[in-house]
Structure formats: structure tokens, C-alpha cells
Amino acid sequence: MLHTATMHEGWTDARPEGSGYDSQTIRRLDDHYAELIGKGTIQGASYLLSRKGKVFAHRSMGKLRETDGSPDLLPDSIRKVYSITKVITAVAIHQLIDRGRLYLMQQVSTLLPEFDTDKHRGITVFHLLTHTSGLRGDPGFYNEPNGYPWFEWAVRELKKQGSDIGWVKALLSGPLQNMPGKEWIYSTSAYALLGEIISKVSGKPYEQYIQDEILSPLGMTHSFFHVPESFRDNVCCTGPWEAEQLYNPREAQADAPPQAGNGMYSTLDDLWKFGQMMLGGGEWGGSRILSKRAVELQTSNVLNGVAHNGWGSTQRDYKFGLGWSLEHYDLCSKGTFSHEGHGHSGLYVDPAEELVFVFFVPGDKGFTNESVLTPRAIVWSGLL
């Protein structure tokens, strides 16, 4: 198949066969992405593949923006990675556990006084990390036709109306959707609360803590919560609302929810460094971010008999780590852990094969199996 989109090559430090990988599989992956771009399923595609710490594929095709005349999506283009932010937050929480500032089963009410009610006192840090707090899930989690608005929008609306209710109380309003520990309910707002815990315990704003303790030590120099003006023209956007967020960001307010569930921008290269840190037992490039035991616990199943009834699922014994999805199906090795982000992006780490796969497949059609699940199968099929 002939590529209809220009292919761009990023840096690599190994050849595929030298990394135990079939180079023809990379061609199949490129052809698959080119076909999706040609059909309009996605706007562009970029990815990075490494094995045993060596990058052997780092490529991009398609467009940076959805507008006519857009420049190309490049291997070093920046993309908002949305929910991949959650694993950054989860690692920060475990840093504080490693340092004796928190403990996993600690009641959130001992950290955030708004939780000191009969309804919320049983919720722990563990519950927030594992989406089992019983708090309201993300809009559309139950495929409801008319879901509640995103919590950030609801909080801003309350402020417009002159309400003095704090954003934490706003998140806790209404009934729990289930008792803590009983059901996996995907909740970005729970991660905003974890961001607030990080701020309270560390004495720094969440975003500053992440910069000081994770991004800077790992050399993630192109990861931001507020993209500097000089970098904005290199950010991939899929619609006017993303461009509006980028070029006209809201001023940071002390009483606003932390962007701990969906707010980070990053690059393939930076996310790869974070994945290599996890693959390396908490250390990369001479910087130790987490203890080896923390990594082991974060990436092991910590749930038992917990239901997952969201997005059309009817699982009765869902498997999940402390912030990480566990992929024990497809061609992925048992023990593979990952997280994906809206829009769409992904970070996959396979310890058995020492493989890291990072991808951006931006588009305005949301999640599609052929842009996420099919490429994953192609990638793992190339292992020799």
C-alpha cells in the first residue's frame, strides 16, 4: 500500500531487528494508520516503540490541526493527553506514601475535612486511586443519554451564580452511586481530589509538585499543565474548543480543582521516559521516582469481586491496579499495564517483553477499535 500521508521520522537509537522486532510489522502499522487517515477516522497518528530501553521506531503522519492548510503532525508534537494525567497523579500519591506522608488506606476525611460526614467518612485514598469510592462517575459512564456536566463546568457555573460552596463540597453533593469498594466507577473528579490531597500534604500546588518531583527529575521538558506561548503552535488540536483551551487558558485560581485527572500536555518522548521509569522499577536516567515495591503494587490487581457496569460492560470481578489499567488479553503479555487518554492517546508498558508503546491518534470521532485496539495487536505481533 502506498502512504497518502507524509511520514516523518523521529530520533531512534536502535534498529528493529536489533531489538528483537520485525521491521515489516512497522510497515503494517504505518499502512494501517495511513488507511485510517485516508478514511477520515483519525486526523493523524504518531507513535514511539522501544524494547529493553532502546527506541527502534518513532514516527508520525497526518496533520497537527483539523483546519485547512495545517502543518504536519511531527514526532515531537505536543498533545493534550487527558486521562494519562491520572497515572502521573497516582505516582505522585505513591511518592508521598514512600516518604511516609500518607498511607494507602488512610481515610480522606483526615486530609480533606469536607469528607468528614457519615456518608463519606469511609472513603480512603485507595478508593480514590482505584475508582471505587462510590462518587459520581464521568458523564456517559453508564451510557446515560443526558448525563451530568463535567465537574469543572459545574463548579464554574456555581461560581457564576455567586455560590460560595467550595469545589470539594460540590463534588460530594448528591448520593453516592455505590458504597465504597463495591463498584469500579471511572471518576475523573476523584483524581482532582487526589490532586488536592497532594497539595495539602506537600504544601505545594499540585501542578508545581508534579513539575518538581516527577517532570523535572525525568527530563520531561515538554510536559505542561499550562503550555508556554512559545510552544503553543506545536500543539496538536482536533477542534476549536481545544484551540480555545490552548490559546486562551483560564487564569489559575487558588480555589479551582487541580488538573490532576485530565490536564497535562505531553509528547511521545516524555511519556516514553515516564513509561521507562515504571519499567525500571521506579528509576530512570539516574533519578529514582518511586520505590520498586510501589511500582509492583501499582501495577498489580488490587481489586477482588468488584463490579464494572460502565460503558456497556457487565464484569463482576474487574481487575485494576492503583491507577493503572491491566491488560491481560489480546497479544499483550500478562502483566502489561497502561492508561489511555481522550482524543486519543495511550501509554502501554509490557514488563515481560520490556516493551513500551506510546501513541497519539488525534481525531474528533473519539474512541474507535480500529484506531486503538487494532494497532495494539499489530504492535505485539511484531515481537520476535
Q: What is the pLDDT of residues 19-78, one digit of tens each?
A: 999 999 999 999 999 999 999 999 999 999 999 999 999 999 999 999 999 999 999 999
pTM over 0.85: yes
192: pLDDT strictly greater than 90: yes
Pairing mode, if any, of strands 78-82 and 235-236?
parallel
DSSP class of residue 224 equals: B
Alpha helices in 248-342 (DSSP H): 268-279, 292-298
Query: Which amino acid makes up residue 66?
Result: E
Q: What is the pLDDT of residue 256?
A: 84
Cβ partners under 8 Å of residue 161, min gap 6: none
DSSP class of residue 323 equals: S
3-state secondary structure of 143: coil
| pLDDT tens-digit map of 193-245 | 999 999 999 999 999 999 999 999 999 999 999 999 999 999 999 999 999 99
| pLDDT tens-digit map of 290-341 | 999 999 999 999 999 999 999 888 999 999 999 999 977 789 999 999 999 9
For the four alpha carbons of 106, 110, 112 and 113, in that order, the dihedral sign comes to positive
DSSP class of residue 203 equals: S
Pairing mode, if any, of strands 325-327 and 336-341?
antiparallel
Q: What is the pLDDT of residue 2?
A: 42
